[in-house]
Every structure is written in C-alpha cells, then in structure tokens.
Structure 1
Amino acid sequence: MHYIDQGAGEPVLMVHGNPTWSFYYRHLIQAISETHRAVAVDHVGCGLSDKPQSYAYTLAQHTDNLLGLIESLGLSSIHLVLHDWGGAIGLGVAAKIKDRVKSLTLLNTGAFPPPYIPWRIYALRAPMLGTIGIRAFNLFAGPAIKMAMSRSKLSPLAKAGLLAPYRSWTQRVAVNAFVKDIPFSTSHRSRKVLEDVESGLASLADKPVQLIWGMKDWCFNTVCLERFKQHFPDARSLEISDAGHYVMEDARDEVIQGIQHFLGLQA
C-alpha cells in the first residue's frame, strides 16, 4: 500500500476516492507540509499501490487497510481530508479511533447510502458491459477528467497524472470494483457497512468539521452537502459555486487556503 509522508507536525491524512489517487492532493501536500505532516494514501488497487486481480475491493476492506496504515505509522491528532469514496472510508475509520482524530475536512463526498443513482454511473454497473467499459475502454477514469470539472479544464500534465496508474485492463481493477461496490440496493454486501458509517457520524459531532463543496458536482451534489450539514450542524462550509467534483483541481487556491485557515484554527 503506497503512501506519501512529507513534513513534520500534526498529521494531515488525505484519502482519495475513485478514480483518483494521491496525485489528486499534490498541491495541498506541497502547501501544508511546511507546517504539518502530510500523509496521502493510495488505496490498494489505486495509484502506486499494488493492484491484485483477486482481492476484496470492498468498503470494509479499504477501511481496514486505512486503519492498518494509521496504526503502522502511529498517527494521532489526525486532521482528515476526505474526497469522494475517501469520505466513507475515512469516516468509517474515524469513528473507530475518534480519540485520535482532531478535525475533519470533507470535499464532495458521502458517508451514507446513495440518495439517488446518477445514470452515468448506473450504466457502468452492468455485470459484463460495465466491466468491459471501465476496464477495456477506460469509460470511468477517462471521462472523469472532463466531467468532474466545471470552472476550468485540466492541464495536459494534470490529465496525464490522474490517468497514469490506470492505463490497462489490469490497472483498472479497483476502478471497476469501486463502481460495483456502491450499495444502491439494501441487499448489497456493503450496504450495512455504509449504514454503520453514517450511524458513526454522531460520535464525531464534537469534532471541528469543514465542508468544502464544488456546487457543480453532478454526483455528490447539494443533497449530499445538506445531509452532512444535518449530521454536523456546526460545521464550517465553503461552497464554491462554479467548481465541479474534482474541487481540488477546479478551485485549487480557494480549497488550499480554506484548509490552511481551518488547520490554523485547530493549532
């Protein structure tokens, strides 16, 4: 399991979603490593981590992996920064080690059963055609570099970086598995796990929370934002009207400044 560990001080643990990797946090790592220990993980199957072809790519497994990394690095007073699937994974861990968590920053993410089914994702869940589309034709990570942006376009370098670990059928194994692990039905194997993550949010209600949201996100849209506000009514909220799902890419300066200011308040 690959991770970046740079700087010193209280740890800021950055957890990515699908189909990104720790590269997504590159500018934030550079900025905060001057004052904090910046740790950014690549989930198994993603980024520079190993990509086993037979593996339990489930929410429960990813949560266990992240918890294991935290234990192995001996992290405490952790500031979590979570995006996309990183929200369910990171918040699931946070509820288990809440005494070691100092703050939460949530970026266009979720931690509850999906309240709706975006057709673009639903179509890729078809058992055979969806798998072929994602793994053979890169129909998830590829389109995301355009569809997850709103304000601006990714630079050629950023596009290449985000797609670099996902160039072949074998390299896209986790990208496909994440899509299949979205628990739309009540009988899905990860449904109870995700419900438990949402139940665990109450135990984190006393933590400082910041919600940073690209308001042009068609997947984790304002329905998700408002649901987090219900769970964390005292949360700070930075809503960026013209940014998309890849809010760290689309509104880099506002996001980094918002996180730095928030971290400064916890000093």
Structure 2
Amino acid sequence: MLKEQTLSYTEHVVQRGPYHIYAREYPGEEPAIVLMHGFPDTLHLYDRLLPWLSPPRRVVTFDFLGWGASDKPAGYPYTAANQVGDVDAVIEQLHLRQVVLVAHDASGPPAIDWALAHADRVAALVLLNTYYCIMPTLRPPEAILLFSTPLVRNVARAVSKAFHNLLFRKMYWWQVGRFMREAEDREEFLPLLYQQFAATPSAQPAFFRLNEDLLFTVRDRTKRIPQMNAFRPPVRIIFGASDPYLNVGVARRFHELFPTSELFLLPGAYHYVQIDEPEQVAHLLLSTPLAHEA
C-alpha cells in the first residue's frame, strides 16, 4: 500500500574532515530514527517508508561518502570501518542523543560497529536484510560476488566499464531489479538509484572499493561475536523472507547472536523489504521497544 504524502525536511551538510555528507532531517518525536542505505543505493531507498514514519517520529537519512549527493573524493578509502566515522559525524553534528539505528545491506557493519561502541546511546538497533559476520547461509548477490572476489574483480571492473559503462548499467538493472518484488517499483527506483553512477563524479569508485573491502570486513567482524552476545539494548530483526541473498538463515543467525533480539520475517518481501512492504516495516519499527523505556 502506498501512502501519498508531501514530507517536509531540513537539508544538512555534515562535515567529515574536508568532505561533506548530505543528510535530511524530518521533524518528530525522539528518539530519532537514523535510516542507513547499503550498496548500490542511496537515501532514496527509504522514500516508500518515510511517509509511514514521519510523523510521528524524528527521522534522519543520509548518503554515505562516495554515494548519492555526498562528496565522492577520488582515492578515498571507502571501507566499512570508514563508514563508522560517517555515522558518528551525522549523529554528533545533528545533536542526536539517543538513536534508533536502522541498517540495511552494507550499512550493517558500520551501524553495528557504532552500536557496539556506544551502547548507552542506542535506543534500539533494527536490522533489515543486512550482514555483519560470517554466517552459514550468507550468499552475496551475483554482482557483488563478481566485484568482491580477488583477481576476478579486476577483470570485472575493466569489462564493466567498456562501451561507456553499458555492461555495468545492464548488470545493475538486472541485479538491483531482483531486489524488488513489483514491476512498478523497479520502473521508479532503478533509474533513481542508478543516477549516482551516471553522474560526474560517479559512485563507481565507492562501489568497487566497498566490494573490495567486503570479504575482509565479514571475516574481521566475526571476532566481535562476543560483543554481540553481550549487547543489551533492544534489537529488532525485520527481513524480507524472499531475499535469496541476505536470507532467512541470516536473519535467524542474527537472532541467535543478539540475545535481546526479536525476529520478524515478512513473507513475499525481497531484499528491498522497505520498498516491498513499507507499511509493515514502519509498524514494526515504530513498535520496537526502546532502551529508555525499560
């Protein structure tokens, strides 16, 4: 179900060293909900969800460095570890005291890293079809596997850029199209999310570098399982049950690793669960128990 509503928001430019992160803030009640995108998308991933959240809640969305409307510095180390600094800069400069962190896809590692390091400021952690550490059923999407596998990725990058990025564009349309259930959503969101790759500067360097960092990140974060086991703020896991990649098995493993977590699987929803089922996701998000209520 679509909710047609014109939302008012304030644009922010968040300083990250010499670079700028683009953010939007929607007014409402505390604690603020911070929505984070993965790859290969932008803050527009939450366009369907936002009308169901604000009002009543204060909501912040932003583009990580290298993506969307944020700066895309050449030669920048686009890694999960560096994205933690993006999250921190947004939270600090927008003066967010307690936050509900919402992670999807590649924002899982920076969101969970920040939450583990600042548990006293986490009102809740919400995980939407995301990843963090090694898990038995975790399966990267075909394009991500191609660009994250050593040696293969070097050839893939060169080939994908041929014919003025024609192959990259076709692969993007095919892969990201598989993340959504409805044809009308693909028609709307594929061009919108691809814009950043056709722009100058392009989001391609961030996409390639974050893929290069993927295997290391997943192996490295496996060392933090004891911290996940000890995490006490509320955790709500909301996964599209029809996602073949960040799948039901991944959701259940997160549920095992976070003792305070609740698990919700949405039948028929794909990887972009917030596009396929925005009303259900919003209801579950707004009803998430908050740490300060305990």
Q: TM-score range by the shorter chain?
A: 0.7 to 0.9
Correspondence 1:175 to 2:195: no
**Which residue of structure 2 lines up, in the alignment, with residue 123 of structure 1?**
146
Distance 1:4 1:215 in 2: 29
Question: Which deviations, in whole Å up to 9, do the C-alpha atoms of 1:230-253 show, x marking residues without a partner?
Answer: 112442222112111111112222
**Which residue of structure 1 lines up, in the alignment, with residue 28 of structure 2?**
8
1:123 Cα shift?
2.3
Correspondence 1:162 to 2:182: no
**Which residue of structure 2 lines up, in the alignment, with residue 66 of structure 1?**
87
**Which residue of structure 2 lines up, in the alignment, with residue 224 of structure 1?**
250
**Which residue of structure 1 lines up, in the alignment, with residue 14 of structure 2?**
none
Pairs within 5 Å for 1:35-184: 35-113=56-134, 115=136, 116-118=138-140, 120=142, 121-125=144-148, 126-132=152-158, 136=165, 137-138=168-169, 141-150=172-181, 154-167=185-198, 170-183=202-215
Distance 1:107 1:160 in 2: 23
Unpaired runs of 5+ residues, structure 1, are none
SS of residue in 1 equivalent to 2:197: coil
Letter in 2 for 1:171: A
Question: Which deviations, in whole Å up to 9, do the C-alpha atoms of 1:166-218 show, x marking residues without a partner?
Answer: 225833221222222111xxxx4x356423554432342x2122111111112
Unpaired runs of 5+ residues, structure 2, are 1-20
Change (3 A) 1:164 1:13: same
Distance 1:71 1:199 in 2: 27
Distance 2:110 2:160 in 1: 22
Distance 2:214 2:170 in 1: 17
**Which residue of structure 2 lines up, in the alignment, with residue 239 of structure 1?**
265
- Report which stretch shifted further, 255-264 or 24-33: 255-264
1:146 Cα shift?
1.4
Distance 2:290 2:108 in 1: 22
**Which residue of structure 1 lines up, in the alignment, with residue 39 of structure 2?**
18
1:119 Cα shift?
7.0
Distance 1:93 1:54 in 2: 24
SS of residue in 2 equivalent to 1:56: coil
Distance 1:197 1:87 in 2: 13
**Does the 8 Å contact 1:111/1:197 carry over to 2?**
no
What TM-score do you get using the length of structure 2 for normalisation? 0.79
1:17 Cα shift?
0.6
Distance 1:23 1:62 in 2: 18
Change (3 A) 1:262 1:35: same
**Does the 8 Å contact 2:52/2:278 carry over to 1?**
no
- Residue-pair matches, total: 261
